[in-house]
């Protein structure tokens, strides 16, 4: 085989290995996602209708203990995700949450991952108002059993 044909193939292969080794893991609130811990939920004064950044798709949502577990699919092998709320029970007795990317991923692969968020700071408010948890832009309306 001609050396002029082999060198580009070897360089392409080495570049792909280097690229994979440089990929960082999914982050939540700027910290590498840990499946053993529930990440903090960010409180905003108002949940904006359209948030900057790429959104992930939430495939499943459930409450386990005091954690809101989301199964997400996102385009990429890294990125930085946060879950936000305005911490207000709306007129329909719902506490609204919204997921968004705060640092987009540029990988073309799709990744399915389960991430957890800490509901303890909202527990008393949800109980007192007999509210449910609404994940905006989804069909998920979840009851926090206490």
Q: What structural domains and CATH numbers belong to the chain?
A: 23-143 (2.60.40)
- 88-141 residue pLDDT tens: 999 999 999 998 877 666 667 778 889 999 999 999 999 899 999 999 888 988
Q: Could you tell me whether strands 80-89 and 94-103 are parallel, antiparallel, or unpaired per DSSP bridges?
A: antiparallel
Residues forming a β-bridge with 96: 134
Instruction: Identify which has the larger pLDDT, 29 or 119.
Output: 119
Determine the pLDDT at residue 34: 75
| Gyration radius from the chain CA atoms | 20
Determine the pLDDT at residue 20: 44
Q: What are phi and psi of 44, to 5 degrees?
A: -110, 150
């Amino acid at each position: 085989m001609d050396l002029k044909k082999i060198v580009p193939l070897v360089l392409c292969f080495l570049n792909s290995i280097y690229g994979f080794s440089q990929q960082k893991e999914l982050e939540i609130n700027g910290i590498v996602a840990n499946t053993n811990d529930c990440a903090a939920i960010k409180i905003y004064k108002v949940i904006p209708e359209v948030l900057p950044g790429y959104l992930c798709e939430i495939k499943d949502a459930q409450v386990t203990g005091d954690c809101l577990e989301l199964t997400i699919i996102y385009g990429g092998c890294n990125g930085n995700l946060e879950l936000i709320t305005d911490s207000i029970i709306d007129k329909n007795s719902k506490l609204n949450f919204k997921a968004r990317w705060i640092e987009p991923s540029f990988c073309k692969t799709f990744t399915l991952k389960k991430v957890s968020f800490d509901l303890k700071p909202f527990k008393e408010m949800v109980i007192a108002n007999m509210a449910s948890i609404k994940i905006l832009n989804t069909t998920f309306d979840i009851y926090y059993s206490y």
